[in-house]
Structure 1
């Protein structure tokens, strides 16, 4: 009998030691009692303090917050309208909202609750700060509409269900932390996930990331960063794909034909030889190169034809321009000659008219007839 009693006792102690430890979160933003309750859901609730050990843990959490301005915090302590003050109970007629319990080893009230049954009342934890720790002043009752900081207690029996992640992956659970897991994707990407107070898996450092998409492949030219987002891959820095200048683009890259040429070169690599026009001219004039066309790249032979065309165009322009200039000079000379001839004719006509007038004035009509006869001859 003693053996079985000892065995049961050992089993109970093992179970007690292995129970998950509660965790607390202190929020300094001020809310009403009911709003604070909603803020703690779904994975937490306004803290109850049934044991002295939990009080010590809460005070340590408050001290670690490193803020000495807040001295009153909502906890899950409430008395309904119609319930009266009970001096004989540890909570004086109040109860813990999480389980409606009225028991507590903590028998501290800073002031006795009011002896009334006519209104809803809520409880605060009052603290003060020393040199090295926060200490408890006790519980304080007040109206539930007031706004105060609050303390949420994590429900140790409620955890996130296993992450639902698309794509090929492995999930590694941490044996000492049920709220954390490690995801290894087939692409090689790795992520650490945390179970939030809302019972949702989030990427460590990025609570807004949809974890179901983490192991899906990004579009070509992109890959996932540590936060889970698809970001552009800088091929120019990683793989050095270009012979000369490499220009990284969104999801791809471009190769420039030379350091001073920003035009896009076809293909993933630029032309094997970047020849200037002078180089092409040298190729055209070099008999040894022309006698071995197969040793030249295709792009060089193609560009060689382009150079011949450019040179032939240059020869035609050298002929046309002098012809046009000569034609313009000829037209100008014709205009000048025509003007000279016209001037001479005009002067002669004027001279003859003056002679006729002089003859009429000196000799009369006979002289005029003679002048006319001279003109006819």
Structure 2
């Protein structure tokens, strides 16, 4: 937040790789502008060779640093690379701040962006980002081909910074920074130097050496000076070592600062006054060259006094909830989603009820609602479920009708077979058993309903709310059954059924007749044998009376003579 306190005067024109550059250092990084044009991949390589990365603009502080670097240049309407790109195979994402692009430094996605227009939609092309400086000094992001050639800015991160050395008399100082092989002198030096900078101070014939290091969390020179502080010091020689105003008296040289600046702890440098120390802002204070500005958190904006923050009514400004109810809150808002919608990241999104398996068969999702429909051969029993239609109730078959789940089958009586239309019965010789020939009906199949001139069955509830009891159901009567599914003849199935029925009736009858015949034959044979054993001689002869008295012995003799 306070990086600008250290930025002025940080600009320096120098020579790196034979290319004029501009460099600015903030408390944690230095930015170097290169006035030579390269492709994006060449830029990445060159920045890494110098020990840095292509510059990023991830937040307002980095934007302010970049704004200051560009303001020191005379380049107008110029474009330069920043380390933001879209790799080949990744898609642009319009709903995100970075639009699917990633920082090449590997940093997490930032919430800050400053697009001039929406990036080109692509998933197959590598795209990179340049910053365009307009005549009004606006720095807008533009996506472009990575094969183009533009200026570039390298960013060098450091752990901390040390102030410029204080030298009071005739002197010379040379600084060696970690990110360059060039040596900088006091005439074109930075206001602050990154950690690891080596400095050589020459006071006449004497030389002093010091390094910017960290001690107990504080960054300072190993020998802070002041240097060359003797009686020869005066304001006539290099302004007495003062960064702004110099005054000399009998006690020596004294430095002062201009309005809006304050004298640093070294007695020679001047820094911007920190007007934010008095906490004038309602939320956050940012120091600027001309004073300070106040900022507000998300959901708030500066009031007319430019100091306090007032709530932004998002419901009336951006209408984030669409057709749903929006409730403004202090610094934010909430969406009251209607039935059929759910809140996702502060916005109302449609609920896909079809993923919840509410319908027993077909389901059609719609915005804020859904509809159920039945397959061919079924009818709705309520707003959500379907039941089988008993097609046999309408006597579709000429003889026997067998209802099945979602369809039906026809069968014929004995000695007849099913015709090709699957309904009529004909003799096995081919003649029709009845004059009329009903339309051909085949076995229905489970299938999605299609819009036809005469659909079998449609069921299209219209939902005015999510309460199933309020669903309006429209039934279309069953029409031409020839449209149910594919044409599959019932004849083979019916013939098999008739054959089974005939065999089931004949076989028991044959068995019964066979058993009856066996029993009859058996009883006849048994009766014949019995009669032979008990038949007397008189069965074949007649008795004639002789008038004589017969005795048993005579009778026995007669019987014996007969045999």
- TM-score normalized with structure 1 length: 0.39
Q: Return the structure number with greater relative CO, CA threshold 8 A, min gap 6.
A: 1
Which is richer in helix?
Answer: 1
